[in-house]
């Protein structure tokens, strides 16, 4: 985990307070509060439609909250548009990965970041570009990402798991504070999932704060120190993974356990909150 100063450990990295998001009449998120501490690896779980991706998109700056406050290191902030969240050190890997298939790994690192190469005459830009590609390649090597031919191979010739590794490494390359992963192991086999989970663990050991959406509780337990359960747009549970077990988490996901469920049969929308 990253070294923390006393001040930085006192404040959560990000604090969401009573965040709501509606799409027309649909309350995708309803009064969600969440403190993310530096170094957390949070497993975000819940049934289909529970609000996980919407919460990720709020943190990624892709959605504006309808209501509520976001604080970054103690200061009220706005994360949208996505370029603003990125500027603040928040990177997102969506399920479609958003890689250009005919580009190789490091070319994909710099997609949409041409500004990183700066201006100036073509030759200087070319040299700077080459130097930055080398930095990206060294980063991939440091992370022990073992993809044969990675220097030149376009991502279309990589497996799904290898593409996922490239997309996560790209996020980690730019995201200095928070990495958001929406179902990073969803379409992967056993070995590929293990490689992706190993990478997530290594990034967390280097101090990156991570939120991982998953439907796979075994994967969650392999990397996450915290579990947040969403149910019907609300946070149903928020626990240290060492304080709970899969059975209990499933009970929160299905609503067999938890405050939200006891109220949910009435109206999901407008219950009194404490």
Ligand X SMILES: Nc1ncnc2c1ncn2[C@@H]1O[C@H](COP(=O)(O)OP(=O)(O)OP(=O)(O)O)[C@@H](O)[C@H]1O
Residues that bind ligand X (CB under 6 A): 23, 26, 28, 46, 48-54
Q: How far apart are CA 270 and CA 272, in angstroms?
A: 6
Distance, C-alpha 102 to centroid of its chain:
25
Q: Which residues contact 223 (CB under 8 A, 6 or more apart)?
A: 41, 43, 197, 200, 201, 204, 210, 212
Q: Least distance to ligand X from the beta carbon of 186, Å?
A: 9
Q: Which does 26 bind (CB under 5 to 8 A by kind): Mg ion, ligand X, none?
A: ligand X
Interactions with Mg ion, residue window 26-55 (CB under 5 A): 53
Answer for the pair 20, 30: CB distance below 8 angstroms, yes or no.
yes
Answer for the pair 140, 106: CB distance below 8 angstroms, yes or no.
yes
Q: Least distance to ligand X from the beta carbon of 132, Å?
A: 34
Of 53 and 164, the one with the shorter C-beta distance to Mg ion is 53
Helices 160-174 and 190-205, packing angle to 10 deg: 10
Q: How far apart are CA 42 and CA 239, in angstroms?
A: 10
Answer for the pair 255, 48: CB distance below 8 angstroms, yes or no.
no
Of 15 and 52, the one with the shorter C-beta distance to ligand X is 52
Of 145 and 196, the one with the shorter C-beta distance to Mg ion is 196
Instruction: For residue 124, give the DSSP letter.
Output: H
| DSSP code per residue over 19-68 | EEEEETTEEEEEEEEEEE-TT-EEEEE-STTSSHHHHHHHHHTSS--SEE
Q: Which does 180 bind (CB under 5 to 8 A by kind): Mg ion, ligand X, none?
A: none
Q: Least distance to ligand X from the beta carbon of 149, Å?
A: 33
Q: Which does 50 bind (CB under 5 to 8 A by kind): ligand X, Mg ion, none?
A: ligand X
Beta bridge partners of 75: 72
User: Nearest to Mg ion by Cβ — which residue?
Assistant: 53
Of 26 and 127, the one with the shorter C-beta distance to ligand X is 26
Q: Least distance to ligand X from the beta carbon of 259, Å?
A: 19
Q: Least distance to ligand X from the beta carbon of 241, Å?
A: 19
- Nearest CA-CA partner of 180 in 188, 190, 170: 170
Q: Least distance to ligand X from the beta carbon of 150, Å?
A: 30
Using CB under 5 A as the binding rule, whether residue 162 contacts Mg ion is answered as: no
Report the SS3 class of residue 132: helix
Q: Which does 255 bind (CB under 5 to 8 A by kind): Mg ion, ligand X, none?
A: none
Of 27 and 226, the one with the shorter C-beta distance to ligand X is 27
Q: Which does 23 bind (CB under 5 to 8 A by kind): Mg ion, ligand X, none?
A: ligand X
- Total number of residues shown for the chain: 274
Of 30 and 136, the one with the shorter C-beta distance to Mg ion is 30
Q: Which does 49 bind (CB under 5 to 8 A by kind): Mg ion, ligand X, none?
A: ligand X
Q: Least distance to ligand X from the beta carbon of 50, Å?
A: 4
Handedness of CA 141, 143, 144, 145 (dihedral sign): negative
Q: Which does 164 bind (CB under 5 to 8 A by kind): Mg ion, ligand X, none?
A: none
Q: How far apart are CA 151 and CA 137, in angstroms?
A: 7
Binding site for Mg ion (CB under 5 A): 53
């Amino acid at each position: 985990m990253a070294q923390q100063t006393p001040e930085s450990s006192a404040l959560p990295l990000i604090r969401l307070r009573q965040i709501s998001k509606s799409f027309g009449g649909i309350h995708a998120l309803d009064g969600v509060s969440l403190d993310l501490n530096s170094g957390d690896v949070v497993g975000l779980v819940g049934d289909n439609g529970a609000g996980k991706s919407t919460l990720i998109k709020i943190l990624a700056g892709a959605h504006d909250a309808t209501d509520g406050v976001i604080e970054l290191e103690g200061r009220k902030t706005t994360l949208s548009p996505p370029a603003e969240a990125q500027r603040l050190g928040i990177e997102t890997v969506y399920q479609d990965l958003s890689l250009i298939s005919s580009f190789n790994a490091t070319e994909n690192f710099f997609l949409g970041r041409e500004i990183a190469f700066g201006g100036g005459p073509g030759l200087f830009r070319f040299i700077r570009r080459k130097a930055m590609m080398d930095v990206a390649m060294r980063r991939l090597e440091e992370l022990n990402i073992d993809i044969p031919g990675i220097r030149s191979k376009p991502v279309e010739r990589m497996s799904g798991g290898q593409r996922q590794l490239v997309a996560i490494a790209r996020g980690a390359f730019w995201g200095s504070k928070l990495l958001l992963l929406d179902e990073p192991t969803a379409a992967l086999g056993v070995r590929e999932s293990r490689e992706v989970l190993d990478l997530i663990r290594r990034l967390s050991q280097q101090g990156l704060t991570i939120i991982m959406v998953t439907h796979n509780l075994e994967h969650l337990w392999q990397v996450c120190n915290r579990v947040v359960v969403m149910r019907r747009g609300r946070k149903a549970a928020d626990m240290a993974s060492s304080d709970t077990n899969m059975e209990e988490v499933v009970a929160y996901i299905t609503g067999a356990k938890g405050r939200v469920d006891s109220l949910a049969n009435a109206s999901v929308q407008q219950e009194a909150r404490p």
